Amino acid sequence: MRFATALSGAPRRCLIVDDEASVRTVVRRLLQAEGFECFEASCGADALRVQAATPSPLVLSDFHMPGMDGAELIAAIRAQWPDTAVVMLTAVSDVDLAVRCLDAGALDYLTKPFAIEELRARVLQALEKRRLLIENAAYRAELEARVAFQAHKYEELFLASLQSLAEALEVKDSYTWGHSTRVSRYSMAIATELQVELPLMHQLEVGSRLHDIGKIGVRESVLNKAGPLTDVEYAHVMEHPVIGWRLLSPLLGDMPHALAVVRSHHERFDGRGTPDALRGDAIPLEARITAVADSFDAMTSGRPYRDGMRIDDAVAELRRCAGAQFDPVCVAAFERALAKGEIPCPDRSVPTQLRMQSVA
Q: What is the pLDDT of residue 67?
A: 85
- Rounded average pLDDT over 310-318: 94
- Rounded average pLDDT over 10-15: 79
User: Which bin fits 118, alpha (ψ -120 to 50), beta or left (φ > 0)?
Assistant: alpha
* In contact, 78 and 98? CB cutoff 8 Å: no
CA dist 286 and 279 (Å) reads 14
- Of 81-85, 129-133, 278-282, which gets the smallest average pLDDT? 129-133
* In contact, 244 and 218? CB cutoff 8 Å: no
Q: What is the pLDDT of residue 251?
A: 85
CA dist 6 and 140 (Å) reads 20
Write out pLDDT tens, residues 243-279: 999 999 988 888 999 999 999 999 999 999 999 999 9
Residue 282's pLDDT band, with cuts at 50, 70 and 90, is very high
Instruction: For residue 357, give the nearest of 280, 276, 300, 314 by alpha carbon.
Output: 300
Q: What percent of the chain shows pLDDT beyond 90?
A: 36
Q: What is the pLDDT of residue 221?
A: 76
Residue 348's pLDDT band, with cuts at 50, 70 and 90, is very low
Residue 85 has pLDDT above 80, yes or no: yes
Chain-centre distance of CA 242, in angstroms? 29
Residue 169's pLDDT band, with cuts at 50, 70 and 90, is low
Write out pLDDT tens, residues 170-216: 666 555 678 888 999 999 999 999 999 999 999 999 999 999 988 88
Q: What is the pLDDT of residue 359?
A: 35
* In contact, 28 and 38? CB cutoff 8 Å: yes
- Rounded average pLDDT over 274-293: 97
List all residues 6 or more positions away from 186 whose beta carbon is below 8 Å from its beta carbon. 292, 293, 296, 297, 334, 337, 343
Domains defined along the chain, listed by start: 3-142 (3.40.50.2300), 173-354 (1.10.3210.10)
* In contact, 279 and 288? CB cutoff 8 Å: no
List all residues 6 or more positions away from 298 whose beta carbon is below 8 Å from its beta carbon. 357, 358, 359, 360
